[in-house]
Amino acid sequence: MANSIKVRANVKSGVTVVKTLINHPMETGMRKDKKTDKMIPAHFIQEVTCEHNGKNVLTAQWGTAVSKNPYLSFKFTGANAGDSLKVSWVDNQGQSDSIESKIK
Amino acid sequence: MNTNRRSFLKTSATAGAVSVAVSAGLLTPRAVLAAWPKNAFEAKDVNSALTAAMGDTTLTDSGDINLKAPDIAENGAVVPITVTSTIPGTESISILIPNNATPLAASFTLSSNTEGYVSTRVKMGKTSDVVAVVKAGGKLYSSKKEVKVTIGGCGG
């Protein structure tokens, strides 16, 4: 699953605001497929990590209650424009993706 | 959550080593995920979720936590939640929804230069309080707000 993450990070007076959107079904495992009457297996992101210049700034651990195509926003200090920011996720089926972008 | 994992997360050097190991293909993502607190996320009530995630259930109400959520959510599948904590030394922010099948929705571990602010969107099965739990200096602080849900976001 390439390019499942969109990241926007902007520095304003020393504080970097990061906004991310991930394309993911986030199935709870409690929903039924109406056509086949079978349960749709759980498929959700368990861990999202964000690194600024290789240093971890945020680790999010998610359960099934996070919405489909999750949105995540957070703020941190100490970054400059042009620094690298890496966002990666791993789901309960072992799939994962990551993206590296520049802070603006 | 056991203390080994806490110290593991805090040691960014260790975290770096793990990510190097992952990129080198030494560890599969599944092996890394062993650290995901399954007990906490599968707990059926708030107290057992808190015990599994934080090892404590004593919550102190705090006015320093600002929990922003809608009064009425028309669609329970997408409820925007923003938590801002001005408590010094905020280590983690968790979002719990007591009336969901599994109350613990999300838990965010912050580094020392990350501000006490997270915003995300969650699913809510029915009208419930939303509880933000902030861990700072080994103590748990909380703030809650009721969100009325007109169409549930779980099941279908």
Tell me, what CATH number does B92's domain have? 2.60.40.2470
How long is chain B? 156
Q: What is the pLDDT of residues B59-86, one digit of tens each?
A: 888 889 999 999 998 888 899 999 999 9
CB contact under 8 A, A71 and B153: no
* ipTM for the assembly: 0.88
Q: What is the pLDDT of residues B27-59, one digit of tens each?
A: 444 444 447 888 888 888 888 888 888 888 888
What is the pLDDT at residue B12? Answer: 47
What is the pLDDT at residue B95? Answer: 92
Q: What's phi and psi for A30, nearest 5 deg?
A: -115, 5
Pairwise CA distance, residues B11 & B31, whole Å:
19
Which structural domain range is residue A18 located in?
5-102
Q: What domain count does chain A have? A: 1
Using a CB–CB cutoff of 8 Å, tell me whether A23 touches chain B. no
With a cut of 70, list the residues of chain A below it in pLDDT. 1-2
Mutate to test the interface with B, among A34, A37, A62, A98 (most CBs of B within 10 A): A62
For residue A60, give the nearest of B97, B106, B115 by CB distance. B106
- Split at pLDDT 50, 70, 90, the class of B126 is confident
Pairwise CA distance, residues B89 & B102, whole Å:
28
C-beta of residue B39 within 8 angstroms of C-beta of residue B52: yes
- Split at pLDDT 50, 70, 90, the class of B154 is low
CB contact under 8 A, A57 and B107: no
Place of tokens 């602080």: B141
What is the pLDDT at residue B29? Answer: 44
Is residue B57 a part of any domain in this protein?
Answer: yes
Which structural domain range is residue B71 located in?
37-151
Is residue B73 a part of any domain in this protein?
Answer: yes
Place of tokens 């240093």: A55
CB contact residues (below 8 A), chain A span 41-70, against chain B: 46-47, 49, 51, 54-68, 70
